[in-house]
A = this chain, B = another copy of it.
Amino acid sequence: MSAMAFFSITPIGKEESVSKYVARVVKKVEESGLQWTLTPMGTIIEGETLEDVLKVINEGAEELKDCNRLSISIKIDYRRDRQSGMGNKVKSVMNKIDEVR
């Protein structure tokens, strides 16, 4: 079983640059102990269950108590029958790109 989530938390009504807020959220992700990676468009985390990843996203949002309004986007790949693994998913696609070139 594996729940992988791509998410972003963006303050609305604050400055145009939001990286200092994103950094505070990523620090909470780091503390969670889950596997994570930072991309230019959001953070990807992986946990055993959906509840695990939603809990960390909730903690990340609650870290930004100084923001009155947050826009949160989440995309989740929830697989009950196997562990996905971040590296495996990318490798599985890259190998197949060679086949279709």
Contact = CB atoms under 8 A, between A and B. Distances in A.
Specify the main secondary structure of chain A where it touches its partner: mixed
B16 A16 contact: no
9 contacts: A4-B41, A12-B16, A13-B14, A16-B69, A23-B97, A61-B78, A69-B81, A71-B76, A72-B78
Interface of A: 4-6, 8, 10, 12-20, 22-24, 26-27, 30, 37-42, 44, 46, 50-51, 54, 57-58, 61-62, 65, 67-81, 84, 86-87, 89-90, 92-97, 99-101
Given A40-B86, A73-B73, 15 more contacts: A5-B41, A6-B6, A10-B12, A12-B12, A13-B16, A16-B68, A23-B95, A24-B100, A26-B93, A38-B90, A42-B75, A50-B61, A54-B57, A71-B71, A72-B75
